[in-house]
């Protein structure tokens, strides 16, 4: 039992020493204005460094991800066709497809699928 405590103590001390050395060595003492400014092909930036992000592009990307997940959910429906009851399989697959079609129509009607 003493051996385990000794190993834990030595490991903890060694870890603390290595962390302290890494912290001391990695500190940069000189904060130069040129090093902290953003780099833009050797020129000073004229505009903000952050560019605006198109919400329309984000919306299209989210819609793509949603329909991608829905396709991944539809693929096992083909595999379960042979082991399921036909009536139950048709009911669930029709209901699922109906939800997808209504969702697509809703997005199309309100202009979410327009790229312009």
List pLDDT tens digits, range 75-115.
888 888 888 888 998 998 899 889 988 988 888 888 877 76
pTM score of the predicted model: 0.46
CB 110 within 8 A of CB 66: no
**What is the Cα–Cα distance from 40 to 74, expressed in whole angstroms?**
47
Give the pLDDT of residue 31: 64
Contact status, residue 45 vs residue 36, Cβ threshold 8 Å: no
Joined tokens for residue 42: 């050797």
- The confidence band for 41, taking pLDDT boundaries of 50, 70 and 90, is low
């Amino acid at each position: 039992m003493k051996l385990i405590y000794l190993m834990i103590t030595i490991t903890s001390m060694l870890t603390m020493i290595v962390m302290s050395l890494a912290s001391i060595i990695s500190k940069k003492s000189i904060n130069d204005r040129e090093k902290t400014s953003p780099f833009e092909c050797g020129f000073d930036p004229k505009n903000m460094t952050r560019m605006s992000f198109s919400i329309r592009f984000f919306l299209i990307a989210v819609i793509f991800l949603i329909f991608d997940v829905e396709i991944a959910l539809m693929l096992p429906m083909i595999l379960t066709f042979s082991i399921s009851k036909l009536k139950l399989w048709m009911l669930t697959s029709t209901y699922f497809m109906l939800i997808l079609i209504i969702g697509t129509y809703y997005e199309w009607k309100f202009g979410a699928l327009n790229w312009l």
